[in-house]
Chain A
């Protein structure tokens, strides 16, 4: 009996009993460990994809072919996009979801921990496969991340590697999304009703629905590419009666919701940070939830705005133009609500708030240029120019990436129990905010002047703004080295923080000790604690 009691005490759920050594990570089922692995993986991919971006900017520093042959340049642009989208941003969001969702809904862990382990460990294999394609005959894929046939069917030995890697990434995302939906639907603490959930949880729930709906569509499309290439089918081969334009429709049926998959969790994080540092509840919580859901719904009916110039009936052009412009309405609701939250608030400007504010301003610029691109006659002019490159980079860098950085700087004290170097993080913010604009704003001018995208060389009249953009790119890229250094320094030590690292923070995660215990909510939080957390 005494032995049984001693054994029970040794395996009490409340203490931080955890495996040690490599087994902790390879066999990880703890949501925090898996979240950490996702974030480290995403950071690694961010620097690999960023390295490719700096090589691209190096080549474009001045006209003429300086360093790379055009084929390799095209490989760089293709791989940069694939790595950043599927290797950096999406895993970073999944890492944040893993860390925060169980803590925020009062659950002990994700609902399917072993599946969680599997969905992470797929990723290193997928990206090893993708990155090793640089070393096979014909080089890495160079047909663009959109993989349009017939161009992509001309890819050399790396073609099956690309297709298999995309399948693996898709499987990982779908499994991760199923885990998120199952956790939120089944593991919430009693009293954590849907309309008490934090905005980050809401945005991730909607993101997960999008992932489950559209990642299989991409998988289906690339499966058909594979059979076209190797098994004699002609889904997308015009010579055999197939339709290459149909691939574009299917791809963008995935591709446009994918843009929202990359940005919706950032909306959630900004909706957590702005109230905290304004010391006010979020203005219009329910309107925010409905706005996010509306944006997600609309994302399914706008896909053809990516292909206006392909030749489509006028009625289709009008439909896709107007449905795209409609997205500005729920987006406007969100921007208004964030601004109204700050109105007459007691603002302070710690690094998470700085990144959230930069997100607000710079993402709006990306949104406005998106509206310009939504207009069919204007799009005929802008199509395939650097204006498009500027637009989506404003959405994805100061949008998604700044959102991720804001989230990391917001929750890092909770994860480590230490406050990070605020001064260095503020430096990181200002360098990033300044140079992201030096990098991408001139690309609007280049696009409007007619510089095409995806080219290694250009006419001399585009030289000046390309030089400015490249200088911005090098400075932005180098300044990002501060980010892992600040995290590493914080993980090693620093000023200890209490449960609530930020004075104005609300939410269940701030009711837990800092650093968060290995097992979060082994017993469900009380209704009073949940009500205190749901301050909106």
Chain B
């Protein structure tokens, strides 16, 4: 099974960048989900108050 291994000096920054990217993507999509949840409730409140 041919494989490529990142050399140690380049692997650490790449891994750190990947961790940051994972965290960023997770937070963005969590906020999107929360936005849909609260958005629909707020939409109903606004509609009901008219």
Contacts and interface: CB of A to CB of B under 8 A. Distances in A.
A and B interact physically: yes
Interface of A: 111-112, 115, 174, 177-178, 181-182, 185-187, 190, 212-217, 219-221, 223-224, 234-235, 241-242, 246, 250, 511-512, 523-529
B12 interface: no
A512 B3 CA distance: 11
9 contacts: A112-B22, A186-B21, A212-B36, A220-B41, A223-B37, A250-B40, A523-B5, A524-B6, A526-B4
B18 to A, nearest CB: 6
B2 interface: yes
B26 to A, nearest CB: 5
Given A241-B48, A523-B4, A220 B38 contact: yes
B50 to A, nearest CB: 10
Contacts of A185: 21, 25
Given A182-B29, A526-B3, A111 B37 contact: no
A511 B1 contact: yes
B14 to A, nearest CB: 9
A336 to B, nearest CB: 33
Contact of A220 (B2, B25, B40, B47): B40
Interface residues on B, range: 20 to 34
Nearest to B34: A216
Interface of A is mostly: helix
Contacts of B6: 524
Nearest to B32: A212
Contact of A224 (B2, B5, B41): B41
Interface string B9-34: 00000000010011001100110111
B8 interface: no
A360 to B, nearest CB: 33
9 tightest Cβ-Cβ pairs between the two chains A and B? A216-B37, A216-B36, A220-B40, A523-B3, A182-B25, A526-B2, A526-B4, A178-B29, A523-B5
Nearest to B14: A190
A234 B48 CA distance: 9
B37 A186 contact: no
Contact of B44 (A182, A212, A246, A525): A246
Contacts of B29: 177-178, 181-182, 212
Contacts of B34: 216
A115 B2 CA distance: 32
A527 B4 CA distance: 8
Nearest to B18: A186
A348 B47 CA distance: 58
A178 B29 CA distance: 6
Given A246-B44, A523-B4, A212 B26 contact: no
* Interface hub of A185, A215, A512, A524 (most chain B Cβ within 10 A): A185
A220 B37 contact: yes
B2 A181 contact: no
A460 B11 CA distance: 73
Contacts of A241: 48
Nearest to A511: B1
A220 B26 contact: no
Nearest to A219: B37
